[in-house]
Structure 1
Amino acid sequence: MATNLNDPKFTVPENDVEQQTALELEHNDDEFDYSKRSQWLRAAVLGATDGLVSIGSLMMGVGAVKQDVKTMILTGFAGLVAGACSMAIGEYVSVYSQLDIELAQIKRDNERGNQNGVLQTPQQDKEDKESLPNPLQASAASALAFALGAAVPLLAAAFIKYDKARLGVVAAAVSVALAVFGWLGAVLGKAPVVQSSARVFIGGLLAMAITFGLTKLIGSQGL
C-alpha cells in the first residue's frame, strides 16, 4: 500500500517547522559560552575605560591651571605611555597568578582522579588547557585598549585653540566614548546595556569633575 505524503497525518505543519528551527537556533545561541570572552573582554573594556578616565581627568586637571595646549598634550601623552605600560604589566602579573592557581588545581584534580581510578581523557585535557587564561593576550589587550581610550581626549584637545573650548570638547569627547565603550562591553558580554553604560558614564564624569575641581582649587591657592 503506497503512502500518501500529502496526507495530513504525514505532513509537518509549516508553523511547527518554523518553531523547531527557531528553537534550534536559540539552543545553539545558548550553547555559546560568553564567559570565554571574559579573558580579553574584561582586560579590553577595563583598559579602554581606564585610558579614557585617567587621561581625560589628567588633561582636565592640567587645563584647569594651564592654558597652554602643548602642556596639556605632552602631559596626556606621557600619561598614555605610562598608563599603557602599567596596565600591561599589571594585567600580565595578575592573569599569570590566576594561571598558576588554575594549573595547580588541575594537577590536584588529576592526581585525585588517578588515585580513584578515573583517568583524564585527551579531549578533557585539551578542553582544560583551552579554558585557561592567557596572560600575554590579556596584557596586550589591556595595553592596546588603554592607548585607544587615552587617544580620544588627546585627539580632541589637539585641534582646539581656545582653552575653555578645549576643556569642553575634551569632556564631551570622553563622555561620549565612555558611553560607547560601556555599551560595547555590555553587548559583547551579554550584560544589561543601560546599567553598564550608565555606570561607566557617570563614573567617568565624576572622576573628571573631581580632578578638575581639586586641581583648580589648589592652583588658585598658588601651590
Structure 2
Amino acid sequence: MASEQARVPSSHPDEPHQQGLAQRLNWLRAGVLGANDGIVSVAAIVVGVAGATSDIAPILTAGIAGLVGGAISMALGEYVSVSSQSDSERALIAKEKRELAEMPEQELEELAGLYEAKGLTPQTARQVAVELTAHDAVAAHLSAELNIDEGDVVSPWHAAGASALAFTVGAILPMLAILLPPEAWRVPVTFVSVLVALVLTGWISAWIGGSSKPKAILRIAIGGAAALVATYGIGLLLGATGVV
C-alpha cells in the first residue's frame, strides 16, 4: 500500500488525488450548509419575535423550537438526499460487478472502446484496458464508465449527523446574541454577530469549493441581512398593530 501511494504524482499538492475525497467534501458541505441555515433561520426567528415583544420567554421559546425543528429537518433532508445518491451508486456498482463476472471479454472490449473514444489508438487502448483489468477490473470500469470510486460512496448517516450538528452549532450563536445582552442591545448585537458568522461561513464554503471568496461572502451576507430585516420588520408591524 505504501509503495502504491508513493507512486501517486505529488507535483501538485493542492489537487485532490487522495481517496475518500467525496466523503470528506460531503461532510464539509453538509456542515457548512447546516451552520449557515442554523445561523440565518434561528436568527430570523428570534429577531422577528424580538421585534414584536421584548419579553424574553417567547423569544427563548421560539428560538429553541426553531433550533430543534431545524436540526431535525436538516438531518432528515440530508439523509434522504444522500441515501438516494448512495443507493443509486451501489446499484450501479453491483450491476458492474455482475457484468464482469458474467461477460468478462465483452467488458474488456467495452473498456478498450472507452479509452479509444478518448483518443488512444486501438492498440494502446486495449493494452491500457488489459493492464487496468488485471490490476482492478471493478475500479477500472467504475472509473471509465461511471466516474465512481467504490470507496467514495457517501454515507447518508454521516451527512445527516454533520448537517444536524452544524445547524445546532450555528443556531446557538443567534440564541446567545439575543438572550445575553441588555434589552436595548439585543437586536443590534444579534445583527452584527450573525453577519460576522455569515462572513466566516461564506469564506469557508468558498475555500472548500475553490471559488471566489468575496463573491461567496457577499452573497451569503446579503441574503442573511435581508432575512433579518424582513423578519424584524414583520415583528415590529405585528407588535405595533397589536396582533401579538
- TM-score for the superposition, normalised by structure 2: 0.73
Q: Secondary structure at the match of 1:198?
A: helix
* 2:171 aligned partner: 150
1:69 paired with 2:56, answer yes
- Distance, in Å, in 2 between the alignment partners of 1:179 and 1:28 is 27
**Deviations 1:131-181 (CA, angstroms, capped at 9, x unpaired):** 10111110110001000110001111222122x310111111111000011
Q: Is 2:87 the counterpart of 1:100?
A: yes
Q: How far is the alpha carbon of 1:112 from its aligned partner?
A: 4.3
Equivalent residues of 1:37, 1:189 under 8 A apart: no
Percent identity, please: 37
Matched, 1:128 2:149: yes
Task: Note the aligned Cα RMSD (angstroms).
Answer: 2.5
Kept in 1: contact 2:22–2:152 (CA 8 A): no
Partner of residue 175, structure 1: 195
Give yes or no for the alignment of 1:208 onto 2:228: yes
Q: Is the 8 A contact 2:52 2:236 kept in 1?
A: yes
More deviation in 166-175 or 35-44? 35-44
Aligned residue among 217, 221, 239 for 1:197: 217
- TM-superposed CA distance for 1:71, in Å, is 2.2
**How many residue pairs end up in the alignment?**
199
Q: How far apart in 2 are the matches of 1:188 and 1:147? A: 21
* Structure 1 alignment gaps of length 5 or more: 1-23
1:151 counterpart letter in structure 2: I
Match of 1:6?
none
What is residue 180 of structure 2 aligned with on the other side?
Answer: 159
Structure 2: which 5+ residue stretches go unaligned?
1-8, 109-132, 143-147
1:82–1:46 Cα change, 3 Å: same
User: For the Cα contact (< 8 Å) 2:47–2:231, is it kept in 1?
Assistant: yes
Bigger RCO (CA 8 Å, 6+ sep): 2
Residue among 1, 21, 26 paired with 1:39: 26
Instruction: Kindly report structure 1 stretches of 4+ aligned residues shifted beyond 6 Å.
Output: none
